[in-house]
């Protein structure tokens, strides 16, 4: 037998693709046990291209979603002003399947007319069928005011958005922070090292930016300071790595909901904690994938929620994008599963 030398044993991390030898029973899930409302999806730009091409793209995506058991989606694009109004008109014929949230032009924050612009824009959006507001992480991690300072999500100047949302009965989906590892040094200790190597612009580890912990403090002040506004804090309340923290926030702020979009990798590696979390907060969790046309991955979500399968992939990619680990199912009871799949979303959308 040839002896393998240490040099032959040396490979780069991206070349390492271990094949598990674990033999366990795996229950297959081809369709969800209940109809699904995906509360966090993206249709992409609908205002570019020919009308026929846009319609074909929408109908194709709807067929794609129906095939995996989805009965309704919420389109969470960051459109505002005329682009938002155009999107609402384009999607109006598909209202039985598709609901759109809109955004506010925060670049006008320092203008005296900002409060009236917010009010008029949201009122017009509602008339055209808008059912909620989307706020993205770029508010605090990318945008600066006229003084050159980054804008905290709890900035008092943003108050007109939250007040009008409450007045008009519009829930606010707020993407406030990315995974904690994105705020840590990109070194050998970072569990998202490979992902951040592929996407260096996703790193927020910079002395000029808000730290993750500062964003969580802002998030809590936002929730506490606007008790009449319903907030869905996207991506498992911004902190899927720490469900204890998220649970304490849900306990303190009855106006807070969470969605599970793009956090399967985090939830599935803590199945005992996650299952208990879903049991306790079953009325405040929304099904979501954060998917785009052509990039559906719903079956992994169904497997996680419906089975007790062990050590399976959370992604179809050969090298999982969010970390080199497997996940475990939490096998929710039907009563909880139906709430997560559609009942909680219906309650918010039908207000």
Q: What is the 3-state secondary structure (H, E, C) of 53-79?
A: HHHHHHHHHHHHHHCCCEEEEEECCCC
Q: In angstroms, rounded to a whole number, what is the distance separating the alpha carbons of residues 341 and 180? A: 27
Measured between alpha carbons, how far is 69 from 32 in angstroms, rounded to an integer? 6
Question: Which domains are assigned to the chain?
Answer: 24-349 (3.20.20.140)
Distance, CA of 137 to CA of 177 (rounded, Å): 6
Task: Name the phi and psi angles at 328, rounded to 5.
Answer: -130, 145
pTM to 2 decimals? 0.95
Take residue 263 and report the two structure tokens written for it: 């956090």
CA distance 228 to 165: 9
What is the mean predicted confidence (pLDDT) over 324-343? 97
CB atoms within 10 A of CB 183: 20
pLDDT digits (tens, 9 = 90+) for 13-68: 888 888 899 999 999 999 999 999 999 999 988 888 788 899 999 999 999 999 99
The label of the residue with tokens 């271990």 reads: 18
pLDDT band with cut points at 50, 70 and 90 for residue 8: low
In sequence order, which residues have a C-beta less than 8 Å from that of residue 346 and are 6 or more positions away?
Answer: 37
Q: What is the pLDDT of residue 272?
A: 98
Residue 219 has pLDDT above 90, yes or no: yes
CA-to-CA distance for 236 and 246, rounded, in angstroms?
A: 8
Query: CB-based burial of residue 36 (10 Å sphere; 0-12 exposed, 13-18 middle, 19+ buried)?
Result: buried
Predicted local distance difference test score (pLDDT) of residue 181: 98
pLDDT at site 113 = 97
Q: How far apart are CA 271 and CA 278, in angstroms?
A: 10
Map tokens 């559609």 to a residue.
342
Q: Taking 70 as the threshold, does the pLDDT of residue 77 lie above it?
A: yes
Distance CA 144, CA 151 (A): 6
Mean of pLDDT values over 328-343: 98
Q: What is the mean pLDDT of residues 187-215?
A: 97
- Specify the pLDDT at position 3: 58
Residue 14's pLDDT is what? 82
Q: What is the pLDDT of residue 1?
A: 53
The overall average pLDDT reported for the chain is 94
What mean pLDDT do residues 154-172 have? 98
Beta strands in 84-146 (DSSP E): 98-100, 133-135
Give the lowest-confidence range in 37-46, 205-214, 227-236. 37-46
E-strand ranges in the chain read 36-41, 70-75, 98-100, 133-135, 172-174, 231-233, 256-259, 285-286
Give the number of other CB atoms < 10 A from CB of residue 28: 8
Decide if 335 contacts 344 (C-beta within 8 A): no
**CA–CA distance, 267 with 240 (Å, rounded to integer):** 7
Q: Is the pLDDT of residue 5 over 60?
A: no
CA atoms within a 13 Å half-sphere pointing along the CA-CB vector of 55: 6
Question: Within 10 Å of residue 30's Cβ, how many Cβ atoms?
Answer: 9
pLDDT at position 45: 84
User: Span 151-166, mean pLDDT?
Assistant: 98
Q: What is the spatial distance between Cα 154 and Cα 134, in angstroms, rounded to a whole number?
A: 15
Phi, psi of 38 (to 5 degrees): -90, 110
Q: What does the pLDDT average to over 215-219?
A: 98
Query: What's residue 307's pLDDT?
Result: 98
Q: What is the pLDDT of residues 233-275, one digit of tens each?
A: 999 999 999 999 999 999 999 999 999 999 999 999 999 999 9
pLDDT tens digits, one per residue of 288-312: 999 988 888 999 999 999 999 999 9
């Amino acid at each position: 037998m040839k002896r393998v030398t240490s040099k032959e044993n040396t490979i780069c991390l991206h070349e390492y693709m271990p094949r598990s030898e674990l033999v366990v029973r795996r229950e297959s899930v081809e369709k969800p046990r209940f109809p699904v409302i995906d509360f966090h999806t993206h249709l992409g730009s609908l205002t570019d291209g020919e009308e026929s091409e846009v319609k074909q793209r929408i109908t194709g995506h709807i067929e794609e979603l129906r095939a995996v058991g989805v009965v309704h989606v919420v389109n969470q694009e960051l459109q505002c002003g005329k682009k938002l109004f155009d999107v609402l008109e384009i999607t109006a014929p598909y209202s039985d399947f598709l609901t759109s949230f809109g955004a506010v032009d925060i670049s006008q924050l320092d203008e005296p007319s900002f409060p009236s612009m917010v009010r008029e824009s949201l009122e017009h959006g509602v008339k055209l069928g808008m059912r909620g507001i989307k706020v993205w992480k770029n508010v605090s991690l990318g945008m600066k005011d006229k003084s050159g300072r980054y804008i905290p999500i709890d900035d008092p100047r943003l108050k007109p958005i939250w007040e009008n949302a409450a007045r008009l009965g519009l829930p606010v989906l707020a993407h406030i922070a990315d995974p904690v590892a994105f705020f840590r040094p990109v070194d050998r200790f970072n569990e998202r090292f490979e992902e951040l190597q592929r996407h260096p612009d996703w790193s927020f580890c910079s002395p000029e930016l808000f730290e993750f912990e500062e964003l969580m403090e802002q998030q809590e002040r936002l929730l506490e300071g606007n008790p009449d506004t319903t907030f869905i804090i996207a991506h498992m309340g911004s902190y899927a790595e720490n469900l204890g923290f998220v649970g304490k926030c849900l306990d303190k702020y009855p106006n807070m909901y969470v969605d599970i979009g793009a956090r399967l990798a985090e939830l599935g590696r803590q199945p005992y904690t996650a299952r208990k979390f879903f049991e306790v907060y079953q009325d405040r969790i929304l099904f979501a994938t954060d998917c785009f046309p052509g990039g559906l991955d719903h079956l992994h979500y169904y497997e996680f929620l419906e089975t007790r399968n062990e050590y399976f992939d959370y992604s179809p990619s050969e090298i999982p994008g969010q970390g080199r680990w497997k996940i475990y199912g939490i096998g929710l009871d039907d009563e909880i599963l139906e709430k997560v799949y559609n009942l909680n979303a219906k309650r918010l959308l039908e207000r």
